């Protein structure tokens, strides 16, 4: 159907897997369920379409499942805006770390989630 067209954007489809507190705010941790592709309209003046491919579904989920699409173009814009904040003198220390994942969540995951001891 869209073979002759080039996609307008690509992204990941996710759902909220967990809510957690960070300070006074509640944040979400997202689980990736699949991919999304935004295609241009086949006819002039028509609306673009979004194709969703799900690779997995959450288990034991009850009720409606709300899906979120994180577009690659939005992630690139956010990364471009945040560049320049890292101090230049520290850049050499981080060269050995693996590059960030292409589809990282927009909210940071809480640290020390696992390995806590009960008191």
- Provide the residue range defining the domain that includes 35: 9-76
Give the whole-angstrom CA distance, residue 97 versus residue 84.
Answer: 19
Residue 1 pLDDT > 70:
no
Chain-wide mean pLDDT for the chain?
75
Domain count for the chain, please give it: 1
Q: Is residue 36 part of a domain?
A: yes
DSSP run (H or E) holding 20: strand 9-22
Q: Is residue 118 part of a domain?
A: no
Give the whole-angstrom CA distance, residue 38 versus residue 69.
Answer: 11
Q: Is residue 105 part of a domain?
A: no
Write out pLDDT tens, residues 52-101. Answer: 999 998 888 889 999 999 999 988 888 777 665 444 443 333 333 444 44
> Which burial class, exposed, middle or buried, applies to 44 when counting CB atoms under 10 A from its CB (0-12, 13-18, 19+)?
exposed
Q: For residue 11, what is the DSSP state?
A: E
Bridge partners (DSSP) listed for residue 20: 27
End-to-end CA distance of the chain: 59
Q: Is residue 15 part of a domain?
A: yes
Q: Is residue 99 part of a domain?
A: no
Average pLDDT over residues 33-53: 92
Give the whole-angstrom CA distance, residue 98 versus residue 117.
Answer: 30
Q: Is residue 114 part of a domain?
A: no
Give the whole-angstrom CA distance, residue 105 versus residue 28.
Answer: 9
Is the distance from CB of 70 to CB of 52 less than 8 angstroms? no
Q: Is residue 82 part of a domain?
A: no
Q: Is residue 108 part of a domain?
A: no
| Local confidence band at 104 (pLDDT 50, 70, 90 cut-offs) | very low
pTM: 0.60
Is the distance from CB of 55 to CB of 33 less than 8 angstroms? yes
- The tokens for 25 are 């705010």
């Amino acid at each position: 159907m869209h073979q002759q067209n080039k996609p307008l954007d690509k992204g990941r489809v996710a759902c909220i897997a967990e809510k957690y507190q960070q300070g006074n705010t509640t944040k979400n941790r997202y689980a990736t369920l699949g991919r999304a592709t935004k295609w241009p309209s086949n006819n002039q003046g028509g609306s673009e379409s979004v194709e969703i491919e799900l690779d997995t579904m959450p288990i034991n989920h009850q009720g409606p499942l709300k899906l979120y699409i994180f577009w690659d173009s939005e992630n690139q814009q956010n990364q471009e805006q945040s560049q320049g904040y890292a101090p230049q003198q520290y850049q050499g220390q981080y060269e050995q770390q693996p590059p960030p994942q292409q589809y990282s969540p927009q909210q940071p995951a809480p640290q020390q989630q696992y390995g806590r001891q009960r008191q």
